[in-house]
A and B are shown apart, each in its own frame.
Chain A
Amino acid sequence: MREAFFLALALATGGAGAGWAETAVSAIGDAERGADIWIFCSGCHQIGPDAEIGIGPPLTGIFGRRAASVDGFPYSRSMTRAGRDGLTWTLETLDAYIENPRVLVSGTRMSFDGLEDAGERADLLAFLRVYSDKPSNIPEAAPTARADVPTLPPETLAIVGDRAYGEYLSSECTTCHQRDGSDKGIPSIVLWPEENFVLAMHAYRQKLRPHPVMQMMAGRLTDEEIAALAAYFGSLTP
């Protein structure tokens, strides 16, 4: 599936052909510029052969690794859940996580607001990739060439949700999620900032987030319906 996706991508961008594999690797980004960005990460994360657990988990070999899989690191409940659900760090998922960590993993403890600039993310990913021991597992494509996940045109984010419609639609959510925001085995979805809610639901709809129930539920919601749910759940009083 992923191979097919990247092949289609390569064809679409005209990058396919002899020598594509060699050139595409460097097209991820500039590892040297990435090292400058890494400074912001290194307060918490270590990388390299001797990296250990710090405030954050070591990032050596991060590509291809299951989320929340470093033994001994006290991951957040959300990250642990994402790992159990099958989240694996790839070029795509890392890029989305770095762009806005809470879109991919709602309750992550990583206190980093995200890196908006796609070029900077590409450079940082190129830097991280140097320290991954299985570069052959890395999809050979520029992260900036894939659709940014979740790809939301400004007009989608600008949709003003119909709260009343959201209230009706919410009844489908509250079969599992508690309306009072408590978490008894299924995460809270109330009082999220609307934009985060919208981005998270689109991440499920685009199957970037791994959970099959949520992929199915989000898969049949329209942009307007997602906005309506975000408006409703964002407005509940605790």
Chain B
Amino acid sequence: MTLNRRSFLGASLAAGAALSAPRAIGQARPRVVIVGGGAGGATAARYIAKDSQGAIDVTLIEPTRTYYTCFFSNLYLGGFRDFASIGHSYGALASGYGINVLHDWVIGVDRDARTVTTAAGHTLPYDRLIVSPGIDFVEGSVPGWDISAQNRMPHSWKAGSQTQLLKAQIEAMPEGGVFAMVAPPDPFRCPPGPYERVSMVAHVLKATNPTAKILILDPKASFSKQALFEEGWQRHYAGMVDRIGPDFGGANVSVNPEAMEVDIDGTVEKVDVCNVIPAQKAGRIAEIAGLTDDSGFCPIVPATMQSRMDETVFVLGDATIAGDMPKSGFSANSHAKVAAMQVRAALTGSTAFPAKYSNTCWSLIDTDDGVKVGASYAPTDEKIAKVDGFVSQTGEDAALRKATYEESVGWYAGITADMFG
């Protein structure tokens, strides 16, 4: 690809104006800006930088200096991981791969000028933009709750201080108290996540507060790995977990954070902890950039992860409409590798091989009782379509469940090394 005059000038100016990397005029390399440093963005940054060997200038913009992974944050709630073990810095991406890591918020995208602007006032030009912003919450989806109530009723659906807050609230529950979860409607980040969370909360309560109850208020008729979770709750936490589905009012729930009450189809219950996981949409910057459709998520080209709205923009992870793929860190990491290859091909002429996607989600039900579900995917013209898949079975022996858990620990080490170097 040849740079047009506008982007060439932009690159040179930005190098002087915004970023510390010194560069002489005339040596401009094609520029990739990546918005969001999670499983999609960090992986894409690392792969583009690694595989282009310096031929592409990569800038990764992420507000937080330490990124806490949503995956395994439930294991922190359950006491299986400490908080530091799910935190990762961007040091290796900056020093080992030459990526410009900018801790800043992107507040605007001008797709005509091919620039992004940040809260700190930088304007960064790009030849290709990768948007991997994760999710935001749909306002009003749980009546009575908004983001200002997140300290009373945490969502803990973005890992970090929210996760710590929820853990502290669980530990402070009165004897025999009630933990309520308002589960989200489809589609949402991490389909087995709410139910793994319930398992981890039950694991803690069984040891410290065995007469406590867990109430799941669920707008969905069914959920991921349902048979496996229900079997596990019966086996490990009999009598503790109660799920109210849409048949019994689970889809008609409002909350009162001040009074710590939930209203289930007209019946008001007092609760001690209330984990509200609202309905979800693509991270707000995707909407600001005009990459979303009426669903609130971003349509993509299945073979490349390019936005349907703009071929110079790629969207990854939870923010996308990824066909049969679930919203997961594993999926985002898989998207990122396809996009990284396409971006390199467009900017340096390297070979673009056919896209392959995959996902596996492990969940922990109790100590050494791990389960998993996974699938492989391939692009069609319409969507990313499932090719093959597997799921753990009910009634598996303890040795296999333990092996599955140990495998998940190995996967965590693998994917975080794949993201952060």
Contacts and interface: CB of A to CB of B under 8 A. Distances in A.
Contacts of A172: 334, 337, 356, 358
Main secondary structure, interface of B, reads helix
Nearest to A212: B390
B400 interface: yes
B41 to A, nearest CB: 15
Contacts of B413: 178, 184-186
Contacts of B403: 81, 84-85
Nearest to B337: A171
A85 B411 contact: no
A217 interface: yes
Nearest to A177: B414
Contacts of B265: none
A220 B418 contact: no
A174 interface: yes
Interface string A215-227: 1110110000000
Nearest to A66: B399
A169 B355 CA distance: 9
A148 to B, nearest CB: 25
A183 interface: yes
A54 interface: no
B389 A186 contact: no
Contacts of B388: 216, 219-220
A89 B382 CA distance: 45
A174 B390 contact: no
B415 A175 contact: yes
A16 interface: no
Contacts of A178: 413-414, 417
Given A175-B414, A216-B390, A220-B388, A184 B376 contact: no
A33 to B, nearest CB: 37
B132 interface: no
Given A84-B403, A179-B417, A216-B388, A184 B409 contact: yes
B178 to A, nearest CB: 36
Interface residues on chain A, size class = 20 to 34
B356 A169 contact: yes
Interface in A145-200: 164-165, 167-169, 171-172, 174-180, 183-186
A186 B407 contact: yes
Contacts of A171: 47, 337, 418
A204 to B, nearest CB: 12
Contacts of A85: 400, 403
B330 interface: yes
A30 B417 CA distance: 52
A126 to B, nearest CB: 31
Interface string A82-97: 0111100000000000
Contacts, number: 90
A185 B358 contact: no
B409 A185 contact: yes
Interface in A46-100: 81, 83-86
A18 interface: no
A213 B337 CA distance: 19
Interface string B388-421: 1110000000011011001111110111011000
Contact of B374 (A86, A213, A219): A213
Kindly name the residue among A171, A175, A213, A220 whose own CB sees the greatest number of chain B CB atoms within 10 A.
A175
B419 to A, nearest CB: 9
Contacts of A176: 360, 407, 410-411, 414-415
B387 interface: yes
A175 B418 contact: yes
A176 B71 CA distance: 14
A212 B407 CA distance: 12
B27 interface: no
Contact of B399 (A84, A213, A217): A84
Question: What 7 pairs across the A-B complex have the smallest Cβ distances?
Answer: A185-B410, A186-B410, A84-B403, A184-B413, A212-B390, A171-B337, A176-B414
Given A175-B411, A184-B414, 17 more contacts: A83-B399, A164-B351, A169-B353, A171-B418, A172-B356, A172-B358, A174-B417, A175-B330, A175-B333, A178-B413, A185-B406, A185-B407, A213-B372, A216-B358, A216-B390, A217-B358, A219-B388
25 contacts: A84-B400, A85-B400, A165-B351, A169-B353, A169-B356, A171-B47, A172-B337, A174-B418, A175-B333, A175-B334, A175-B411, A176-B407, A176-B411, A177-B414, A184-B413, A185-B408, A185-B409, A185-B411, A185-B413, A216-B358, A216-B376, A216-B388, A216-B389, A219-B388, A220-B387
Interface of B: 47, 51, 330, 333-334, 337, 341, 351, 353, 356, 358, 360, 372, 374-376, 378, 387-390, 399-400, 402-403, 406-411, 413-415, 417-418
Interface of A: 81, 83-86, 164-165, 167-169, 171-172, 174-180, 183-186, 212-213, 215-217, 219-220
